[in-house]
Amino acid sequence: MKKGLFITFEGMEGCGKSTQIHLLAEELKLAGREIVVTRSPGGTPVAERIRAILKTRTDGEDLAPETELLLFGACHAQMTRTLITPVLERGAILLCDRFFDSTTAYQGYARGLDMDMVLRVNRFACGFVQPDLTLLLDIDPVQGIERSRNRAALETDRFDSEKMKFHRDVRAAFLDLAEKHRDRFRVIDASLEVSQVHAQIMEAVHARLENL
């Protein structure tokens, strides 16, 4: 029987997921909990190899959107069986940087693949495993992109309106998912300072822990 807690972090690039996962992990460890941090795509040796295909360009060949969806599915199937389920069964708290809600938002809503198929792939990959709590770090894409740029110091990267539309679509998709799954989603205002974002996250996590 499952005893742990599965928390996922969602939101656009640069919204602060890595920063906040680190802070939450440190605080929960101080409270004496076993914490496992992982990421999607990735987190197991096989899933990391699938991540490499998803994240790096292959010379002379693009990934078809359908291939991309199925690779995310393969990755989630592997993560679920070899990492997520065992970690939760032994009672640990698992913090995951993105999970299948990102697939729904990016491949389903923003890239426009058949939504029913996206949801079916997610369900086939993960079975009954789903997050107990999904923290959506919501931020205006202009501010999110600014943060990513500061981090990467990519000053040459032009502010491209097509890309902005894509990021706005992704934001709307995540907010729609949060509305549809209010039982497990909490929308966090990620535009604030790091400590204020962390405080909102601690409140959401404590509320969930009290309800266990």
Instruction: List residues near Mg ion by CB under 5 A.
Output: 17-18
| Partner whose footprint covers residue 63, from ligand ATP, Mg ion, none (CB < 5 to 8 Å by kind) | none
User: Residue 19, interface with ligand ATP (CB under 6 A)?
Assistant: yes
User: Residue 82, interface with ligand ATP (CB under 6 A)?
Assistant: no
User: Residue 39, interface with ligand ATP (CB under 6 A)?
Assistant: no
* Residues 6+ positions from 201 with CB-CB distance below 8 Å: 20, 23, 24, 135, 188
Residue count of the chain, please give it.
Answer: 212
My answer on whether omega of the bond before 86 falls inside 30° of 0, hence cis, is no
Site string for ligand ATP, 137-176 (x = CB under 6 A): ----------xx-xx-------------------------
Using CB under 6 A, count the residues that bind ligand ATP.
14
Stretch that binds ligand ATP, among 11-19, 64-72, 79-87, 204-212 (CB under 6 A): 11-19
Stretch that binds ligand ATP, among 30-38, 57-65, 189-197, 199-207 (CB under 6 A): 189-197
Q: Would you say the C-alpha torsion 151, 72, 112, 120 has a positive or negative sign? A: negative
For residues 111 and 101, give the distance between their C-alpha atoms in angstroms, rounded to a whole number.
Answer: 14
Stretch that binds ligand ATP, among 8-16, 119-127, 154-162, 164-172 (CB under 6 A): 8-16
| Partner whose footprint covers residue 87, from Mg ion, ligand ATP, none (CB < 5 to 8 Å by kind) | none
For residues 107 and 102, give the distance between their C-alpha atoms in angstroms, rounded to a whole number.
Answer: 8
User: Residue 18, interface with ligand ATP (CB under 6 A)?
Assistant: yes
Partners of 193 in the beta sheet? none
User: By C-alpha distance, which of 171, 135, 151 is closest to 17?
Assistant: 135
| 77 alpha-carbon distance from chain centroid | 15
> Measuring CA to CA, how many Å separate 212 from each of 27, 55, 157, 207?
19, 36, 46, 9
Stretch that binds ligand ATP, among 16-24, 26-34, 155-163, 178-186 (CB under 6 A): 16-24
Which parts of this chain interact with ligand ATP (CB under 6 A)?
13-19, 147-148, 150-151, 193-194, 197
